[in-house]
Amino acid sequence: MNLQGKVVLVTGGTGSFGKKFVLRALENGVKKIIIFSRDELKQYEMAQEYTDKRVRFFIGDVRDKDRLYRAFDGVDIVIHAAAMKHVGACEYNPFEAVKTNINGAQNIIEAAIDRNVKRVIALSTDKAASPINLYGATKLASDKLFVAANSYAGDKETRFSVVRYGNVVGSRGSVVPFFKKMSATGKLPITDERMTRFWITLDQGVKFVLDSLERMQGGEIFVPKIPSMRVIDLAVAIAPECEMENVGIRPGEKLHEAMITEDDARRTLEFDSYYVIQPEFQWWSDELKHEGKELEEGFKYTSDLNKEWLTVEELRLLAGEM
């Protein structure tokens, strides 16, 4: 999407995605880009690196609706990337996860509508499809809120959509830096040799968000077609000399991840490089429709049944770029 002359705000903007998104937005001619986050140290460190005068920093928490009202003044586009996303942290701090991931989503929606923000894209996760952990459950609830928010907006122009994708290479908490660190011990802990995951780079994730901003009409969940990888292949790619130690699946983990369930597939359209999960209820206007291919009965998009796979060599190249 062309961001020329637009004011864009990114919640959780000091994270891996936010930093990459800011670079792309500046190249795209954005008028101003606001980093909204609660960690002053991360903002200070980011400000040393991003010295363009169009980059602004705003201390705040998505739990604080009044602060969002102030931050959204004059904003055209909001990218909602703020979340508690670590599975273990959410399991042990469930009230906090709900406050940030669900209540925070509601605050974003209400502030965006009242401040006349034109477009909001919320970042989701494959863990929101048939969730088995609290993180996934809160993100599923968040997705539902953002889809329904288009109805909630009434006559306002504000439109909301969701982008759902898999594990991001090199993001904070990624298994790649963990494996690299553990390789020094001569052993890599493997949860299960059968485990698979969807895999996307930061650049691909940012591009997909910008493309979805261009395509969105409100209410879609956009899902990119991305490759899968076997965790054991990633371990071999990073540290082939290490002994692999099977430690078992951790609480809240799946053997394979899903981005489109069999139930979602009934209202999903396929395009060349992505899918669109349509709302369960009517579009906001009869004129707003996507012309895609309907999926066959029983379709599901899971990391183990994917048609595209990363090889050990490809994973080694990706890991080496970090």
Domains and CATH numbers, the chain: 7-230+255-320 (3.40.50.720)
Active-site choice (6, 20, 85, 127): 127
Q: How many CA atoms lie within 13 A of 203 on its CB side?
A: 3
Work out the pLDDT band at 167, boundaries 50, 70, 90. Answer: confident
Nearest to 1 by CA among 271, 163, 212: 212
DSSP 8-state secondary structure symbol assigned to residue 208: H
Residue 274's SS3 state is: strand
Please say if 20 is a catalytic residue.
no
pLDDT in the model for residue 125: 94
Look at 7-21, 49-63, 247-261 and tell me which has the smallest mean pLDDT: 247-261
pLDDT value at 61 more than 70: yes
pLDDT in the model for residue 172: 64
pLDDT value at 288 more than 60: no
pTM: 0.94
CA distances from 175 to 48, 68, 238, 279, 322 (A): 27, 33, 11, 33, 12
pLDDT in the model for residue 286: 60
Write out the two tokens for 164. 């759902």
